[in-house]
Structure 1
Amino acid sequence: MKKKNAYALLLVLSLIVGLHSFSFGKEAAKGDEQSRLIEGQDLILHRRYDEALKLFKAVKKDFPDSPSGSFGEMAVYEVRMLENEDLSLEKEFSRASEEGRRRAGIVLQKYQPTPWELFISGALFGLDGFLKARKGGWWDAYVAGNKSRQLFKHAKQLDPSFIDADFGLGMYVYWRSVFTKDLWFLKMFPDRRAEGIAIVKEVAERGRFTKEMAGINLGMMYMEEKDYSNASMIFKSFVERYPENIVLRRFLGKVYVAMRKYDDAIAQFSEMGKIDPRIIKYKYFLGATMVISGDDKISAEGERELRDFIAAEKSKYWRASAHYWLGRMYERKNDKKKALIEYNAAHALSPKIEDALKRARGLGGGM
């Protein structure tokens, strides 16, 4: 999974769970509205998406001046797209976002919006911004993300004792540093990863309601920092609590690959296929892991998984990635002819996979 997709998922999960945060603050949210959003959170984490959409639709009807129902709908669509690593529900997401931003605009016109209203509005702008980031619209994503950060900050100013409100700020500080370091037009931002980690770690230790999601975000931060031992412990605990959650299993499987615990990774990716075989990305991760392991006993099975994936997948980039790993397998077996075929197929489908062309040229071929 690309880092921007991973962050988008964490934003979705974190902001949904963050709804707990205002239950006992100085200015409590409308109890019924909040309790129903928390119920929706649980439905999303357990992949009961149709039920969640029905619930959020009712929230929109019952609370017409709040963006909360629209935010919930956006969260469902985004998590489903992240499961598939695509943008197949972008139209549905955009409709919910447009309606939510219109409702948030009403909130922001108030003379004294409440902490809850600021929080849910900030959550909506943040989620909208990260879909823009997934599409490569970095400047629009930055503008939306910065607006989200300002709203979280304002909410914290209205209730300074509430440490959980720092969670979104810590996420923003850390991941902005990660993503902007490779963007030349945003090089003016300093590297504040250590600060972001410290903020989120404090929330994970002292927070009242966002402790769990702070823990998940720490797992992603540890993964980014290559601290795979801590990352694996965090993701394993969440998979145990939400065994149906495909994306959390994918995180855990990818950490195991980085740790060279290939059998454990294969077990996670295999389970993804059992949970929902329609989400065929599991075949890619399963096949690629078998190839990466270097174990010739399972390479044939890995090849079958990757071939099945290529036949079923629509995305040229993902098909190219599968061809690349097949090329790596044949190169390891010293079958240069077949390796060249796979590398050239990968490059033809997606020039973004530059290593395919480099390896093809290294073998005396390539385009």
Structure 2
Amino acid sequence: MILIISSIPFVHNAFAINDIPDVEPGERAPIDSTFHESLSLGLEYVFSEQYERAVALFDSLQKVFPDHPAPYFYMAATYQSWMSSYRFSKFQPELEENVQSAIDIGDRLMENNDDPWLNFYVGAAYGYRGFYRFRKHNWIGAYLDGKKGVGNFEKALDKVPNIYDCYLGMGSYHYWRTAKSKFIKVVAFWMKDRREMGLEQIRFSIDHGRYTSEEASYGLIIAYYDFGWYDKAFELNEIAIGFCDPPTLPALFMRGRLSAHSGRWDKAKSTFEQILNRIENYKYQSVGYQVECKYWIAEALKAEGENQKALKMAQNALEQSLQRDKKVELENPVDNFDEIKKRLTKLHESLK
């Protein structure tokens, strides 16, 4: 999945940032003629969780096109999708290496090449780098990368206004820059709340982007959830469930969380049991993810009046939580493990 999240830019292009084009229903962005076939296959691998095949494909593409940013960016995107889906961080060095290669190669090419797709790939790569700098609390680094990322999206749209995939980056920027975060309090306290504009832009990229529709769907589901539009999130997530068979872990996770939020405990329990069955014996482990699944299963059991089973599950989850090494795991997309652990502890106490 191609997570294109940009931080705070310093300058704005009025058309690219503030407006959504008026286009015909069904109109899509143009293809990247150089990489379209390989990219389409690679995205199919990623969204069906055939990550090793995607890595092999983009590795071969790097050998054929060593001086183009696209293969490096999509390799980074594959690693990011793989790690975030299963919540481990093993490939973070490889992700960062490929992101840096995409930026360096793209910046060098753009000195003598006016291809707008170069701006797109470099902008998206800066968005990635800004995202993991943000996660490491490197506020200034995230700020500068956001400025460069959004600037490249603007340049791409200035050259070819129908590269609608850029609106995923634009919309993510608009939404998350004014969502709650320490970064906003430190750097961006003066900014207007443009979250609804961001939601509209991400929606636009779903409807009209060439390569970002699936990832934009996942991004919009999380943003809807964060914004409190739970019905919209549930409706879109049920569409995402149908993207592939079996459904992706991110789609299942959001189905479980949305079901729990709305009190549909039977659906929540079956969904988190399904996730747990898929991740328990996976070769790259996330203890925190397993603990969270067990917590929600325990909550569902309690809601169904199965208090002894709920207590046993909560006890098991608390014991397993002691094995978690946060340095090798990633957080879920809507809250953090410490919050889940507090809820789990409170649940356990209530059942004793």
**TM class, shorter-length:** 0.7 to 0.9
Alignment check: 8 A CA contact 1:10 1:216 kept: no
Shift of residue 53, structure 1, vs aligned partner: 1.0
- 2:221 matched to which residue of 1? 219
The normalised TM-score by structure 2 is 0.78
CA distance 1:167–1:128, shift in 2 (3 Å)? same
Shift of residue 287, structure 1, vs aligned partner: 2.0
- 2:291 matched to which residue of 1? 284
Cα deviation, 1:252-288, whole Å, max 9, x if unaligned, reads: 2112222222221222221122223234444222222
Shift of residue 154, structure 1, vs aligned partner: 0.9
Cα deviation, 1:15-38, whole Å, max 9, x if unaligned, reads: xxxxxxx9963xx6343x232122
Is 1:251 matched with 2:254?
Answer: yes
Counterpart Cα distance in 2 of 1:225 and 1:322? 20
Give 1:98's match in structure 2, choosing from 97, 100, 104.
Answer: 100
Counterpart Cα distance in 1 of 2:239 and 2:39? 24
Which aligned pairs between 1:1-20 and structure 2 lie closer than 5 A?
10-11=3-4
Counterpart Cα distance in 2 of 1:196 and 1:134? 21
Q: Any idea what SS the aligned residue of 1:183 has?
A: helix
Counterpart Cα distance in 2 of 1:84 and 1:71? 20
Alignment check: 8 A CA contact 1:287 1:302 kept: yes
- 1:154 matched to which residue of 2? 155
- The structure with the largest helix share of the pair is 1
Shift of residue 220, structure 1, vs aligned partner: 2.0
Shift of residue 203, structure 1, vs aligned partner: 4.1
Structure 1 unaligned spans of 5+: 1-7, 13-21, 336-367
Residue identity opposite 1:123 in structure 2: A
Alignment check: 8 A CA contact 1:115 1:158 kept: yes
Residue identity opposite 2:296 in structure 1: T
Give 1:198's match in structure 2, choosing from 197, 200, 203.
Answer: 200
The normalised TM-score by structure 1 is 0.75
Cα deviation, 1:190-235, whole Å, max 9, x if unaligned, reads: 2111221233334445556654444333322221121211211211
Q: Which has the larger radius of gyration?
A: 1
Q: Provide the identity percentage.
A: 20
Structure 2 unaligned spans of 5+: 6-26
Alignment check: 8 A CA contact 1:47 1:244 kept: no
Residue identity opposite 1:158 in structure 2: K
Q: Any idea what SS the aligned residue of 2:117 has?
A: helix
Is 1:265 matched with 2:268?
Answer: yes
Shift of residue 52, structure 1, vs aligned partner: 0.9
- 1:140 matched to which residue of 2? 141
Counterpart Cα distance in 2 of 1:99 and 1:206? 28
Is 1:309 matched with 2:327?
Answer: no
Larger relative contact order, structure 1 or 2 (CA cutoff 8 Å, min sep 6): 2
Cα deviation, 1:275-312, whole Å, max 9, x if unaligned, reads: 23234444222222134344325413422440453254
CA distance 1:83–1:174, shift in 2 (3 Å)? same
CA distance 1:179–1:199, shift in 2 (3 Å)? same
- 1:228 matched to which residue of 2? 230
Alignment check: 8 A CA contact 1:287 1:304 kept: no
- 2:9 matched to which residue of 1? none
Counterpart Cα distance in 1 of 2:110 and 2:180? 29
Counterpart Cα distance in 2 of 1:168 and 1:307? 38
